[in-house]
């Protein structure tokens, strides 16, 4: 049976790697290098792909390769917009580089001699604007193609070690009447000058095309956001009509903000939102700027029904320096906004009483799914942090090679060396009835067998309604197979910036707009079915797709590895507490959000305290030692 019988626009990593393996085969590369018509080569590629279990048309293969080459060239050229991090998210960079650097060098003179003028090879020339990835499989594009007229012989442009062939513009190539030289090696000096000129103009041409390509991309993005906006408007209207039938919900206070899809990036606590009432999208030439409007000038919901019925509005809730709430709400916003004045008291509310009436286990039995030969520290940090925050029991389900090492770090942890055993899922499943929260990913690694086990354990835990925190390599799994957690309301994702980028791009099939993290985080959350997303960074950004909370608890400049594990372990416990607290305690705020805010604040406070003592020498172990006092300071004073 074919692995990919239901074809879609999406190429899985395995499928792409198989395609690259086939495309990189010597005979294919030779065939592509020596032919200006290559449809038969891609027929062969598609045929070989079918043998490997993936059904794709030759055109799909060609388009996919083309797009991979585009990504690779972009990454290579450094013509990037992702804070110079793009090479890290060009997943197949190494494979592309290996293949392209082994390509036979193409002699431009041979191309001229071959008489292939104007007979463009589809394989080598990359002049199309990017295709909408949703339509890659059909080859159609949802936006007008940028016309780049190419009339003259191809000339090589060196990208790294490889040589690709590009067309030259008429001005630079000397016009279509350029004649094929009669003697091939007649004038070497002239040849080399001509070659240099051709190379320069090809480069210029390349940058022009890149510019056009980026513009086309911007247009496409604008169109996408316009569609989103429209959807939001429709939703707003729906909520509005419900609200008019619901007397409680219609009691919306006079806090309607300008109808701007805003971000809080420029906001400081206490600064009115209207000061930043503009839509920040992509490149400057396409920014749509709304005039800043003083808050007072915006009519209330009652006098300006459109302001809430048609537009989602974002409300800033001035907070303590540690936390800031950005909320997108519709007409029913009042209900959602109740209790959002301050998240910290809600975290305090969920912390269980210490009482002699309880027995062991009631305050939390947490399990970490992670730990392999390479990574033993991460699961330990997460598990011990869970204990120090207040869980009664902390388990680690890890690979055999990691178990003894983790046990030797701490006798407090219960370590199960089962993750790489054939009956791993069964072994872990036995424990699920007693577990209150799972933290999947710290030190898990990317071994396929371990990931498969993790995936099945997630499925079993979902069936039991257990909160699941996914971090580190667990997020990699989610980027490959989002459905594993998509739509599960008790799922919490805790990506750092790199992990966030991968997740975002896996869900949206387009590069992350790094200028607007809050919007992107919300989009990711919504795409994942309103899962809670915690984007860690200078400010931690927490969203469930409806509101964004910034955690700005003071930390330090020390970024020792493992802090994220402290966060995910603590979050495991807090999530359990939040989900077992009454709605009164959390004031109906999403329990995952309350827990996430608590875990972020705690991690940052630990970082601050440890840094005061150890300065540059601060390690995660030092931070863990601060959990007790940081917790008390934040949540019990």
Ligand X SMILES: NC(=O)C1=CN([C@@H]2O[C@H](COP(=O)(O)OP(=O)(O)OC[C@H]3O[C@@H](n4cnc5c(N)ncnc54)[C@H](OP(=O)(O)O)[C@@H]3O)[C@@H](O)[C@H]2O)[C@@H](O)CC1
Going by the annotation, the residues of the binding site for ATP are: 536-540, 555-564
Here the tokens at position 106 are 């193409």
Rounded Cα distance between 168 and 506, Å, is: 35
Name the binding residues.
Answer: 443, 496-502, 536-540, 555-565
Contacting residue, 235, 498, 583, 617, with ligand X by CB under 6 A? 498
Restricted to residues 604-623, the positions that interact with ligand ATP (CB under 6 A) are 604
CB of 517 to ligand X, least distance (A): 11
**Residue 473 CB, nearest approach to ligand ATP (Å):** 10
Residue 473 interacting partner from ligand ATP, ligand X, none (CB closer than 5 to 8 Å by kind): ligand X
Please give the Cα distance from 408 to 353 (Å, whole number): 32
3-class secondary structure per residue, 70-118: HHHHHHHHCCCCCCCCHHHHCCCHHHHHHHHHCCCCCCHHHHHHCCCCC
Q: Which of residues 550-589 bind ligand X (CB under 6 A)?
A: 561-562, 564-565
What number of CA atoms fall less than 13 Å from residue 454's CA on the CB side? 38
Q: What count of other Cβ atoms lies within 10 Å of the Cβ of residue 248? A: 9
Locus of tokens 């007229």: 149
Name the minimum Å distance from CB 449 to ligand X. Answer: 15
Q: Which is nearer to ligand ATP, 185 or 559 (CB)?
A: 559
Q: Which residue of the chain is nearest ligand X when measured via CB?
A: 377
The Cα 71–Cα 210 span in angstroms is 12
Size of interface with ligand ATP, in residues (CB under 6 A)? 17
Burial degree of 575 (CB within 10 A; 0-12, 13-18, 19+): buried
Interacting span for ligand ATP (CB under 6 A) from 26-34, 73-81, 448-456, 563-571: 563-571
Binding mask 421-460 for ligand ATP (x = CB under 6 A): ----------------------------------------
Please name which of 419, 421, 433, 435 lies closest in space to residue 370, comparing C-alpha atoms.
419
Nearest Cα to Cα of residue 630 among 554, 541, 537: 554
Only one of the segments 18-26, 270-278, 444-452, 553-561 lies at the binding site for ligand ATP (rule: CB under 6 A); that segment is 553-561
**Closest approach of ligand ATP to the CB of residue 443, in Å:** 9
CA-based end-to-end distance of the chain:
62
Region of 70-78, 154-162, 363-371, 598-606 interacting with ligand ATP (CB under 6 A):
598-606
**Residue 540 contact, options ligand X, ligand ATP, none, Cβ 5-8 Å cut-off depending on partner type:** ligand ATP
Residue 610, token pair as written in the block: 């440890």
Q: How far is the CB of 577 from ligand X (least distance, A)?
A: 24
Q: How many amino acids of this chain bind ligand X (CB under 6 A)? A: 19
Q: Toward ligand ATP, which CB reaches closer, 298 or 611?
A: 611
Q: Which stretch binds ligand X (CB under 6 A): 177-185, 277-285, 355-363, 436-444?
A: 436-444
Which option in ligand ATP, ligand X, none does residue 559 bind, with CB closer than 5 to 8 A by kind?
ligand ATP
Q: Are 442 and 454 in contact (CB under 8 A)?
A: no
Tell me how far, at minimum, the Cβ of 473 lies from ligand X, in Å: 4
Does residue 377 touch ligand X according to CB under 6 A? Answer: yes
Please give the backbone phi and psi of residue 317, each rounded to the nearest 5 degrees, phi first: -120, 100
Shortest Cβ 496–ligand ATP spacing (Å): 4
* Ramachandran region, residue 394 (left: φ > 0; alpha: ψ -120 to 50; beta: rest): beta
Return the number of other C-beta atoms located less than 10 Å from residue 302's C-beta. 12
Number of H helices, E strands in the chain: 23, 13
Q: How far is the CB of 399 from ligand X (least distance, A)?
A: 12
Instruction: Tell me which of 501, 563, 581, 605 binds ligand ATP, using CB under 6 A.
Output: 563
Note whether 377 binds ligand ATP by CB under 6 A.
no
Binding residues for (6S)-NADPHX: 443, 496-502, 565
Q: Which is nearer to ligand ATP, 280 or 604 (CB)?
A: 604
Q: 454-513: which residues touch ligand ATP (CB under 6 A)? A: 472, 496
> Which span (190-198, 207-215, 495-503, 590-598) binds ligand X, by CB under 6 A?
495-503
Between CA 293 and CA 469 the distance in angstroms is 40
User: Chain-centre distance of CA 237, in angstroms?
Assistant: 30
In the complex with ligand X, the residue whose CB is nearer, 472 or 531, is 472
Both tokens of 378, joined, read: 């991460």
Site for ligand X in 77-96 (CB under 6 A): 85, 88
Residues whose CB is less than 8 angstroms from the CB of residue 537 and which lie 6 or more positions away in sequence, other chains included: 496, 497, 517
Q: Which residues is 165 bridged to in the sheet?
A: 156
Q: Residues 142, 165: contact at Cβ < 8 Å?
A: no
Report if residue 537 touches ligand ATP, rule: CB under 6 A: yes
**What is the residue-wise DSSP string for 3-23?**
TT-S--SPPPHHHHHHHHHHH
Pick from 498, 501, 502, 626: nearest CA to 570: 626
Of 559, 584, 636, 637, the one binding ligand ATP by CB under 6 A: 559
Place of tokens 């594990």: 565
- The single residue among 421, 496, 515, 588 that binds ligand X, judged by CB under 6 A, is 496
d(CA 16, CA 260): 40
Q: Which residue is nearest to ligand ATP, using beta carbons?
A: 564
Least separation in angstroms between residue 558's CB and ligand ATP is: 9
Q: Long-range contacts made by residues 509-512, C-beta under 8 angstroms, separation at least 24?
A: 509/9, 509/10, 509/133, 509/134, 510/133, 510/217, 510/221, 511/81, 511/82, 511/86, 512/82
Instruction: Provide the mask over 564-583, with x wherever binding to ligand ATP is found by CB under 6 A and - wherever it is not.
Output: xx-x----------------
Q: How far apart are CB 631 and ligand X at their closest, in Å?
A: 21
Exactly one of 42, 54, 72, 375 binds ligand X (CB under 6 A); which one?
A: 375
Which lies closer to ligand ATP via its Cβ, residue 61 or residue 438? 438
Check residue 270 and report its DSSP letter: T
* Residue the block writes with tokens 């069964």: 426
User: Residue 375 or 579: which CB sits closer to ligand X?
Assistant: 375
Where along the sequence are the contacts to ligand X (CB under 6 A)? 85, 88, 375-378, 442-444, 472-473, 496-499, 561-562, 564-565
Where along the sequence are the contacts to ligand ATP (CB under 6 A)? 472, 496, 536-538, 540, 555, 559, 561-565, 567, 600, 603-604
């Amino acid at each position: 049976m074919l692995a990919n019988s239901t074809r879609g626009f999406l190429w899985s990593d395995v499928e792409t790697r198989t395609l690259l393996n086939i495309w990189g085969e010597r005979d294919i590369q030779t065939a592509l290098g020596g032919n200006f018509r290559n449809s038969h080569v891609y027929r062969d590629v598609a045929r070989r792909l079918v043998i490997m279990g993936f059904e794709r048309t030759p055109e799909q293969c060609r388009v996919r390769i083309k797009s991979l080459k585009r990504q690779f060239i972009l990454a290579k050229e450094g013509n990037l917009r992702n804070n110079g991090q793009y090479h890290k998210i060009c997943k197949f960079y190494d494979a592309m580089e290996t293949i392209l650097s082994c390509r036979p060098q193409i002699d431009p003179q041979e191309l001229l001699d071959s008489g292939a003028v104007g007979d463009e090879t589809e394989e080598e020339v990359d002049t199309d604007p990017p295709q909408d990835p949703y339509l890659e499989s059909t080859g159609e594009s949802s936006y007008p193609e940028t016309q780049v007229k190419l009339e003259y012989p191809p000339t090589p442009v060196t990208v790294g070690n490889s040589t690709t062939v590009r067309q030259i513009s008429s001005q630079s190539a000397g016009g279509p009447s350029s004649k094929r030289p009669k003697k091939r090696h007649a004038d070497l000096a002239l040849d080399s000058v001509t070659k240099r000129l051709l190379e320069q103009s090809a480069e210029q041409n390349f940058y022009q095309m890149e510019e056009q390509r980026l513009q086309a991309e911007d247009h496409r993005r604008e169109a996408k956001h316009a569609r989103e906006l429209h959807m939001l408007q429709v939703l707003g209207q729906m909520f509005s009509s419900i609200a008019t039938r619901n007397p409680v919900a219609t009691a919306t206070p006079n806090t309607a903000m300008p109808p701007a899809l805003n971000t809080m990036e420029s906001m400081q606590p206490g600064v009115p939102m209207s000061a930043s009432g503009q839509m920040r999208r992509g490149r400057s030439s396409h920014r749509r700027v709304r005039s800043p409007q003083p808050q007072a000038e915006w009519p209330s919901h009652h006098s300006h029904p459109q302001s809430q019925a048609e537009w989602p509005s974002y409300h800033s809730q001035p907070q303590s320096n540690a936390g800031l709430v950005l909320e997108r709400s519709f007409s029913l916003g009042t209900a959602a906004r109740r209790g959002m004045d301050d998240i910290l008291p809600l975290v305090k509310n969920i912390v269980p009483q210490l009482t002699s009436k309880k027995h062991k286990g009631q305050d939390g039995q947490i399990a970490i799914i992670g730990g392999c030969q390479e990574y033993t520290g991460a699961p330990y940090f997460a598990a011990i942090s869970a204990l120090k925050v207040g869980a009664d029991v902390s388990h680690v389900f890890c690979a055999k090679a990691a178990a003894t090492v983790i046990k030797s770090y701490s006798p407090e942890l219960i370590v199960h060396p089962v993750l790489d055993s054939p009956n791993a899922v069964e072994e872990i499943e036995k424990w699920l009835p007693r577990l209150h929260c799972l933290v999947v990913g710290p030190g898990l690694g990317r071994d396929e067998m371990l990931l498969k086990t993790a995936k099945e354990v997630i499925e079993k835990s979902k069936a039991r309604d257990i909160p699941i925190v996914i971090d580190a390599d667990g997020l990699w799994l989610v980027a490959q197979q989002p459905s594993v957690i998509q739509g599960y309301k008790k799922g919490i994702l805790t990506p750092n910036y790199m992990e966030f980028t991968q997740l975002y791009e896996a869900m949206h099939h387009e590069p992350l707009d790094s200028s607007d993290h809050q919007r992107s985080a919300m989009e990711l959350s919504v795409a994942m079915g309103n899962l809670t997303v915690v984007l860690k960074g200078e400010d931690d950004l927490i969203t469930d797709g409806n509101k964004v909370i910034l955690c700005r608890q003071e930390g330090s400049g020390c970024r020792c590895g493992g802090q994220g594990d402290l966060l995910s372990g603590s979050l495991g416990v807090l999530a359990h507490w939040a989900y077992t607290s009454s709605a009164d305690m959390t004031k109906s705020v999403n329990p995952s959000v309350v827990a996430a805010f608590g875990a972020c604040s705690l991690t940052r406070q630990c970082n601050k305290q440890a840094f005061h003592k150890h300065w540059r020498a601060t390690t995660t172990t030092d931070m863990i030692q601060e959990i007790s006092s940081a917790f008390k300071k934040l949540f019990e004073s």
